[in-house]
Amino acid sequence: MLDEAFEALKKFDWGTDVAAVAPIDDAVAATHGQADARRDLEQRLVAALGGKLSRDAQDYVCRKLAIIGTAAAVPALASRLGAPHHSHMARFALERMPAPEAAQALRDALPKVTGDLKIGVLSSIGARRDKAAIAAVSGLLSDNDPSIATAAAHALGAIGGAKSAQALAAARPSKSSKPAVIDAQLACAESLLAEKNEAEAMKIYQSLAGDHQGRLVRLAATRGMLACASKQG
């Protein structure tokens, strides 16, 4: 059944009956908790990805690797990060895989990709909350492309923590990326508050409470300060 499904995968494309590849879905579920069987399945999926598949079939394989992929699948996925049509689904898998190699692959790809692909990689780094990427991401806060600077700010906000907050505070954002930087600072403060680091959170809120900020930012900062103080009190 599974062999037939992998054969069917070679002809799988938009509009094809998904029932033909359903045994692969079943195998993903059935191999839960069976390391050897999972490894075999992963190897077959990675091998299939290296073969000649339609774009829809490749996307299908990436979805399965997002569930069962390990470090072994990372090179095949990482090689696709620079390809406009395949980068998105490669990130979809790498974002969700617990292997640290997946995070490393995204960090490695960051200086190599450009434009929308770079924005996508930044988004995935943020989704993984990859603290090891803070330095690399921070460097992009001053990127000439405001979309990339904005994406970098969002990524740092998603990663959260004191180091991200420091990088954001040190940034000299352009007018267009400034709102994203402030949002990210508030997100960092919230993550610090959740980690019970009220003192660091308060510093961020204080920096945003001044009259030079917009009303809504000051309001958010004030609410944050009250939340910090109430936890301290």
Among 172, 175, 196, 215, binds other proteins (CB under 8 A): 215
Nearer to other proteins, 130 or 198 (CB): 198
Q: Work out whether 229 is an interface residue with other proteins (CB under 8 A).
A: yes
Among 135, 202, 204, 217, binds other proteins (CB under 8 A): 202
Instruction: Measure CA 107 to chain center.
Output: 11
Task: Figure out which of the listed residues 53, 141, 184, 209 binds other proteins, where binding follows CB under 8 A.
Answer: 209
- Name the residue nearer to other proteins (CB basis): 46 or 201: 201
User: Mask 142-181, x = binds other proteins (CB under 8 A)?
Assistant: ----------------------------------------
Does residue 114 belong to the site contacting other proteins (CB under 8 A)?
no
Residue 197 binds other proteins (CB under 8 A): no
C-beta of residue 60 within 8 angstroms of C-beta of residue 70: no
Q: Residues of 99-123 as b/e, b for ≥16 C-beta within 10 angstroms?
A: eebbbbbbbebbeebeeebbbbbbb
* Of the residues 73, 164, 198, 217, which one makes contact with other proteins according to CB under 8 A: 198
- DSSP tally for the chain: helices H, then strands E: 14, 0
Q: How far is the CB of 233 from other proteins (least distance, A)?
A: 4
DSSP states of 85-133: TTHHHHHHHHHH---HHHHHHHHHHTTT--HHHHHHHHHHHHHTT-GGG
Q: Is 60 exposed, middle or buried (CB count within 10 Å of its CB: 0-12, 13-18, 19+)? A: buried
- Give the footprint of other proteins on this chain (CB under 8 A): 198-199, 202-203, 205-206, 209-211, 215, 218-219, 222-223, 225-226, 228-230, 232-233
